[in-house]
Amino acid sequence: MTHGYFVTGTDTGVGKTSVCLELMRLLQAQGHVVTGMKPVASGCQRKSSGLVNEDALRLQAQASFTVPYAQVNPYAFEPAIAPHIAAAAEGVNINLESIEFALAALAREADRVVVEGVGGWAVPVNAVQTMADVAVALGMPVIMVVGIRLGCINHALLTEQAITASGLRFSGWIANRVDPTCQVQDETVAALQQRLTAPCLGDLPCLADGEELSGRLSLPA
């Protein structure tokens, strides 16, 4: 069994990568050998070495050891569109066994792996499977990032229900105040704290691009 966390979100653009990086730092501070993984990524850039994703590169750079990019991000697609659509356009089938193989390779070097999902919990990865199936295949406890904006309470509660129904452990959630125009941020966070069953691991302000989360998150108990 691989130890670590699978990080999902209520939507795309809610700060999953920044949260993953801070979780990696916290685990490293405890003495763990850590790497990150982003199994599927769209919106990649074409370099001389092939397609690379900015978020996956940040996870690779934060790792405790040198890790091949292909293990961090086994499936990379250039168009910034839903991954199953990007994959189908290139004639690629996103295969869960390939993702499990890449994770196993990482786990031979690391004692903790932080895996970043793509989009939300139910984003399709192929014709029949979703990111939820990826999470179940990897078997890791789940942390949810909630982008605090209109509609997020519903999204968060439905995501929690789906995580619980999958049989995975829901280890915690993080409020990320991504929308400065939201007029009821405190009330929204309070409603989530009242209704979600897992502990809140952090309440993040609207951060500047690239700003680190040092001291703003905690690991699950």
pLDDT tens-digit series, residues 61-112: 999 999 999 999 999 999 999 999 999 999 999 999 999 999 999 999 999 9
The mean pLDDT of 18-41, rounded to a whole number, is 96
Position 159 scores a pLDDT of: 98
Domain assignment present for residue 192? The answer is: yes
| Angle at the Cα of 35 from the Cα atoms of 68 and 196, rounded to 5 degrees | 135
Q: Give the pair of three-digit tokens for residue 37.
A: 């993984």
Domain assignment present for residue 220? The answer is no
Within a domain: 142: yes
Determine which one of 38, 84, 112, 216 is catalytic. Answer: 38
**Phi, psi (rounded to 5 degrees) for 192:** -65, -40
Residue 101 domain-assigned (yes or no): yes
Catalytic-residue membership of 38: yes
Q: Which of 97-101, 120-124, 136-140, 208-212 shows the lowest per-residue confidence on average (mean pLDDT)?
A: 208-212
User: Has residue 135 been placed in a domain?
Assistant: yes
Kindly tell me the burial class for residue 59, based on how many C-beta atoms sit within 10 Å of its own C-beta (0-12, 13-18, 19 or more). Answer: buried
Does residue 181 belong to any structural domain of this protein? Answer: yes
Report if residue 70 sits inside a domain. no
In a domain, 58, yes or no: no
Which amino acid would we find at residue 212?
Answer: E
Q: Give the CATH number of the domain where residue 196 resides.
A: 3.40.50.300
State the residue range of the domain holding 172.
4-38+96-204
Q: Where are the alpha helices (DSSP H) in 30-142?
A: 54-62, 69-72, 83-89, 96-107, 131-138
pLDDT band at residue 29 using 50, 70 and 90 as cut-offs? very high
Domain count, the chain: 1
Phi-psi region of 151 (alpha: psi -120 to 50; beta: other; left: phi over 0): left
Q: Is the pLDDT of residue 60 over 70?
A: yes
- Whether 143 contacts 220, CB under 8 Å: yes
- Given pLDDT bands bounded at 50, 70 and 90, which one contains residue 16? very high
φ, ψ (nearest 5 deg) of residue 77: -130, 145
pTM: 0.95
pLDDT at 1: 64
